[in-house]
Structure 1
Amino acid sequence: MKTINKLVSVLFLFAVLFVQAAPPIPGGGGNGGNGTGAPSSPIDMYVYVLSVIAIAFIVFFTKKYKGQKA
């Protein structure tokens, strides 16, 4: 049970960091982005998928090692 509490705490911490990690809005008269409408980097399209995969790996390895201890 303590491991689950630690994992939830770490996931909550990362969630808070991701929410606050938005780049600042540039000032001035410019239009602000790169002008092409394309994502700033290709990985931006897969952030949600990568998050789900990471959580799946955490659950998988937690269950795997918990099963070995018993």
Structure 2
Amino acid sequence: MKTINKLVYVFFLLTVFLINAQPSQPSQPPAGGVGGSGTGAPASPIDMYVYALGIIAVMFIAFFNKKYTGKKA
């Protein structure tokens, strides 16, 4: 049970870091610039797969937890 608690703490810690990883965008662009249309945020191809990668990570954790728990007994 202690291992599960540690994994939960690490998960929440990493979640907080990921949520706060990028500073918020300014609400208005600086005055005087002509700039293009859009948010100006860089496109990241991994954004499309965040949910799928999260599900795969949970499945890997469950698989390896089951695999190594079975060897201890």
- Same fold (TM > 0.5): yes
Decide which of 29, 39, 47 is 1:32's aligned counterpart. 39
Say which structure, 1 or 2, has more relative contact order (CA 8 Å, 6+ apart): 1
Percent identical: 59
Q: Any unmatched runs of 5+ in structure 1?
A: none
Deviations 1:38-65 (A, max 9, x none): x702111001110110111011101110
After the TM superposition, which of the residue ranges 23-32 and 42-51 deviates more from structure 2? 23-32
SS across alignment from 1:21: coil
The CA RMSD over aligned residues, in Å, is: 2.0
Q: Distance in 1 between the 2:3 and 2:40 partners?
A: 42
Q: Any unmatched runs of 5+ in structure 2?
A: none
1:17 equivalent in alignment to 2:17 = yes
Could you list the runs of 4 or more consecutive aligned residues of structure 1 that deviate by over 6 angstroms after TM superposition?
Answer: none
1:50-69 correspondence runs (5 A): 50-69=53-72
Q: Distance in 1 between the 2:53 and 2:13 partners?
A: 17
Alignment TM-score, normalising by the size of structure 2: 0.75
Matched to 1:24, the amino acid is S
